[in-house]
Amino acid sequence: MALLQIALGLLVTWAVWAVIRKSQHRSPLDNVPGPTAASWFVGDLERFYGRHGWPFQKELLSSYGPVVKFSAFFGSPMLYVYDPKALHHIVVKDQYIYEETSIFIEWVFRSVVPLTVFLTDGCLLNSFNSLAFGDSLLSSLGERHRRQRKILNPVFNTNHMRYMVPTFYRITNQLRKALSNEVKDGQHEIDMLSWMTRAALELVGQGGLGYSFDPLDRDWKNPFAEDLKALVPTMSPYFFWMRFLPLVSWIGTAAFQRRVLEMLPLPSLQRTIQIIDTMENKSKEILAQKRALLSQGDMALEQQVGEGKDIMSVLLRENMQASGDEKMSDTELLGHMTALIFAAMDTTSGALAHILQVLSEHPDAQEKLRQEIKTARGDQEYIEYDELMNLPYLEAVCRETLRLYSPTTVMTRVTTKDVLMPLSTPLRGRDGTMMNELVVPEGTGIVIGILAYNIDPAIWGPDAHLWKPERWLEPLPGTVTNAHAPGIYSNLMTFLGGGRACIGFKFAQLEMKAVLSVLLEHFKFSPSDKEVYWNWAGIQFPTIGKESTETKMPLRVELVH
């Protein structure tokens, strides 16, 4: 209790200090335009980061330029950025200045970084990733992140993806058989998000871990898949409070903190703990199985799911040969497994659900894509990797949906020192001055506008807000190519760029295209009469109506005749 009182005292002291500091200190960002803060305490954080945050973000896009200032705690400034040159500096050139978070101890002993650093979404993201996935690529920073990425990069290359094609088609055809049974008597309304979640989980299970999570042989609620899909909606009520974790993370041991959380009478918090435990225990189970098989030699692995070609089998073999800094600990391996399961399942299943939904709303595009797939497959068992990756209309549909409906809409960084942020387009300040660059102070929260860049009319043209796959079948306008987006995928920011770009984007592409190439050849999708609402909580997720928190996306499905 005394420790909690000390923490509360520190928080109150800091709050008073922050108010005094704010009243006496002028920021170099005072001239950057932006809305009036909604609250003196939390600023605009709730209306920006809440799951109903899109209207406010859309207001920022329509009312201000590609760099907008909004307020965090006690009016501390944050920048919402989608200017191309600024993004290049944030995610590539100066990426080690724009980090995901800082460390509480540094503030305590150096009194350099304002505590508002820890209350920005950068801290939230790192806190969420650390809590949910442990020591993984998603939660590591700086040199540790670079080391982990260097070790993991080889298992995500194109040559390795080719090995996975037969496995992916075998899984997807099992999905096809199960869906065919559901609609054998005619059109039926089906929750396609549930099926896409289960399929994506099985794809990452067999292709990523050499493990089967789901036979995909009937319509049932896979408990593990349900847990994974529920993680973000269940945790979202606590995202605001997670910003305060650095204030109390030093109190007691991890076991003590765990006991305190378990005592809190909050059902959704207890559900969150249960989901995280389930993910960790499953990763431990899989790792133990893989180790046992590896000890029996390659022959034993080749007879199992994935045939020893899955990402984790390759990684474990390489890790056994590694030494020194190149060797990963069990904690890291478990963290990477948990992160891979969640990241490859959640974002990919959401993207697939969005593609099927938008195709159901554009039947002509759906039929055009169906004919392209049928022609490409011909009398083959399946479409080979290189041809699948290069089907022009399939690629156009995937690119356009990932452009307009990016699964992750924003990412956040925090400046670790004062930095000059150059701009592609001069920004008119509050006093009318035109600014070609901004001095961004240490400790400033920077929101990378992933979706904002993808739909910016100044780059993509006046039809930027329309779903138009044909734009990818002709040369892109000069405004797109000359913007030099720092993203790693198709002039878009969807998979980010630089050292923290999505390491598994090729895996995700293969997942999506394998599933679409099988389903669209055999099924026709039409919209449901239920309202599907896409929520914003770091990762987009659909619900029936605005108030529900249960993830669902129904479509009417029937066999193609």
What is the distance, to the nearest Å, from the Cα of residue 393 to the centroid of all Cα atoms in its chain? 25
Tally Cβ neighbours within 10 Å of residue 2. 6
Residue that is written with structure tokens 């037969």 in the block: 166
Rounded CA-CA distance 86/80 in Å is 11
Q: Quick one: DSSP state of residue 399?
A: H
Give buried/exposed letters for 44-62 (b at 16+ CB in 10 A, else e). bbbbbbbbebeebbeebbe
The closest of 416, 328, 407 to 148, measured between CA atoms, is 328
Tell me how far apart the alpha carbons of residues 64 and 218 are, in angstroms, rounded to a whole number: 50
Q: Known binder of ligand: residue 502?
A: yes
Residue among 143, 124, 286 at smallest CA distance from 201:
286
Say how far apart CA 3 and CA 237 lie, in whole Å: 25
Neighbouring residues of 303: CB distance < 8 A, sequence distance ≥ 6: none
CA angle 370, 525, 51 (to 5 degrees): 120
Bridge partners (DSSP) of residue 541 are 535
List strands edge to edge, sheet with 554-559.
Answer: 188-191, 554-559, 523-527
Tokens (6 digits) for 331 = 């904690």
Q: Could you tell me which of 511, 533, 538 has the C-alpha nearest to residue 406? A: 538
**Binding-site entries:** 502
**Binding-site entries for heme:** 502
